[in-house]
Amino acid sequence: MRIISITNQKGGCGKTTTAINLAASLAANNRKVLLIDLDPQAHATSGLNIRSDLSIYNVLSKLTGNKASLSEIIQNWGENFDVAPSSIVLSTLEQELAGEIGRESRLWEVLEDFKAGYDYILIDCPPNLGILTINAIRAAEEIIIPVEASRFSLEGLDQLLGIIGLVRERLNHNVDYRVLVANFDSRLAHSFKLLDKIKTNFQEKLFSNIIHVNVKLKEAQNEGKHIFSYDKYCRGAKDYFSLSREIIMDEDVPAVSFALEKRMRRVLREELPKLSEVTFSVSAPEAKEVFVVGDFNNWKLDHSSRMEAADGGWKKRVNLASGRYRYRFVIDGNWVEDSANPAREINPYGSMDSMIEVFGRKD
Ligand SMILES: Nc1ncnc2c1ncn2[C@@H]1O[C@H](COP(=O)(O)OP(=O)(O)O)[C@@H](O)[C@H]1O
Ligand SMILES: [Mg+2]
């Protein structure tokens, strides 16, 4: 069983549309799917025209007088497609859980005990990083982060990735994420530029399939249907079907990659005490984007090497083991050495790399 949360604290980036239509495509591929609506706004519930007195609130709350099990609230939508609805009362759960120990694991506990033979459980998240979203990240092994290529912002994503990292470390929970371009407008040149930027940042973390803007997706949601029951030949239906094939293709992969990741993490943990924190900084007040790349990150220009703007300067903290490293800055695409650092060495291409020596921590 694969548990996938569809998460992004930004509203309107395509979470609910993805949750509904990906669930429907997986079901059409003969996978048994449960869609859990974990948003108090209950858009997935209303987008599938489901009415119900009981909701996921009755499953997660300990205070409700009307306690229910997950199986008791589930509604069947069509072949292979079940839904656990939400309702506005779910918004009170945040406060209700505030003082409780283990509050971030409530949904996980429910799903641990839940053996109903689903191939996939998809969780539609609310547009914030509150306790419900954290429950969804904790319960899932995979996260799909839908982003809009029309107004892509990395800041919000950094925060979300930070939370995923925290859940991984603090709760010792294996969870991986992938980014989905969920609202691509091919009429705008701007969208292609943003898509390039997203590709550079996320590389293999980006789904190869993208979802184009298609008004039928909106219409279907307004009619209380998924796209295959509304117009199965439209572009939106094709896009979500292709996405589901991409997800199905690595059905066997997660088990392997998670085992590998577990081993990696053990190795990392053993290594971590020996790492020292190094802060790279460069002044480039006019620059739009700056990276620090070196042999410690395989000279890779991506999310992990991107520097953060700070008072006209750019900074990046990196944990490094003791040793000598070569590095350079990439300022708006130009590779330059660190002018504030006199230590340099010529590289095989005839230009200079800056050099840094890290001494191990004694602890
Ligand atoms: N690819 C798309 N093409 C056209 N409209 C879309 C697309 N994806 C989402 N929408 C519409 O945009 C609005 C916000 O999408 P939604 O999935 O509800 O976002 P979220 O759940 O992240 O808040 C909805 O009205 C939805 O129908
Ligand atoms: Mg939504």
The secondary structure of 133-187 as a DSSP string is HHHHHHH-SEEEEEE-TTS--HHHHHHHHHHHHHHHHHTT---EEEEEE-SB-TT
Expressed in angstroms and rounded, the spacing between residue 13 Cα and the centre of ligand 1 is 6
Amino acid 16: pLDDT: 97
Best of 217, 227, 242 for a ligand 1 pocket test (most atoms within 8 Å of beta carbon)? 217
Best of 6, 17, 215 for a ligand 1 pocket test (most atoms within 8 Å of beta carbon)? 17
Taking the C-alpha atoms of residue 202 and residue 104, their distance in angstroms, rounded to an integer, is: 27
Amino acid 168: pLDDT: 86
Q: How many CA atoms lie within 13 A of 177 on its CB side?
A: 25
Ligand 1, atom 11, residue with closest C-alpha: 218
Taking the C-alpha atoms of residue 9 and residue 285, their distance in angstroms, rounded to an integer, is: 30
Residues with C-beta atoms within 5 A of ion ligand 2: 15-16, 43
Q: Beta-carbon neighbour count of residue 99 at 10 Å?
A: 7
Beta-strand relationship, 334-336 and 323-331: antiparallel
Q: How many CA atoms lie within 13 A of 81 on its CB side?
A: 21
Expressed in angstroms and rounded, the spacing between residue 14 Cα and the centre of ligand 2 is 7
Amino acid 35: pLDDT: 98
Q: Which atom of ligand 1 is nearest to the CA of 221?
A: 27
Amino acid 350: pLDDT: 86
Residue type for position 94: E
Expressed in angstroms and rounded, the spacing between residue 124 Cα and the centre of ligand 2 is 7
Which residue has 């200079």 as its token pair?
Answer: 352
Residues 76 and 84 sit within 8 Å (Cβ to Cβ):
no
What are the residues facing 358 on neighbouring strands?
Answer: 323
Residue type for position 137: I
Best of 218, 223, 225 for a ligand 1 pocket test (most atoms within 8 Å of beta carbon)? 218
Q: Which domains does the chain have, with CATH numbers?
A: 2-266 (3.40.50.300), 275-358 (2.60.40.10)
Q: Beta-carbon neighbour count of residue 312 at 10 Å?
A: 10
Any idea what DSSP says for residue 203? G
Pocket (CB within 6 angstroms of ligand 1): 11-17, 43, 127, 182-183, 211, 213-215, 217-218, 221
Expressed in angstroms and rounded, the spacing between residue 235 Cα and the centre of ligand 1 is 14
Ligand 1, atom 6, residue with closest C-alpha: 218
Expressed in angstroms and rounded, the spacing between residue 8 Cα and the centre of ligand 2 is 9
Low-confidence ranges of the chain (pLDDT < 70): 152, 252-274, 360-363
Beta-strand relationship, 142-147 and 176-181: parallel
Any idea what DSSP says for residue 91? G
Amino acid 363: pLDDT: 47
Amino acid 359: pLDDT: 82
Beta-strand relationship, 344-346 and 352-358: antiparallel
Ligand 1, atom 13, residue with closest C-alpha: 12
Residues 77 and 51 sit within 8 Å (Cβ to Cβ):
no
Amino acid 242: pLDDT: 96
Amino acid 250: pLDDT: 80
Expressed in angstroms and rounded, the spacing between residue 158 Cα and the centre of ligand 1 is 22
Beta-strand relationship, 323-331 and 290-294: antiparallel
Amino acid 319: pLDDT: 79
Ligand closest to CA 191: 1
